[in-house]
Amino acid sequence: MGNKHLKEDKKYIKYKGQLVTKAICNAEFSALLEYCELDTLAMVMIYEHFRELKN
């Protein structure tokens, strides 16, 4: 019983070596996506700043 049934249940997936719900995995993915968007925005802002300094 136990983990065998969890592995067969499509509500659970393996993430970082552990069984977690899809909701938790989706929340982690959303947080990572938001971080990447902010990081990219910061890089663009830095690039634009240096481009302005050059002119």
Concatenate the DSSP letters of all residues of the chain into one string.
-THHHHHHSTTEEEETTEEEEHHHHHHHHHHHHHHHHHHHHHHHHHHHHHHHHH-
Q: What's the pLDDT at 10?
A: 60
Short-list 35, 30, 33, 4, CA closest to 22: 30
**23: pLDDT strictly greater than 80:** yes
Short-list 30, 11, 31, CA closest to 21: 11
Q: What's the pLDDT at 1?
A: 43
Confidence of residue 51 (pLDDT cuts 50, 70, 90): very high
Provide mean pLDDT across the span 22-51.
Answer: 93
> Under a CB-based contact definition with an 8 Å cutoff, are residues 29 and 16 in contact?
no
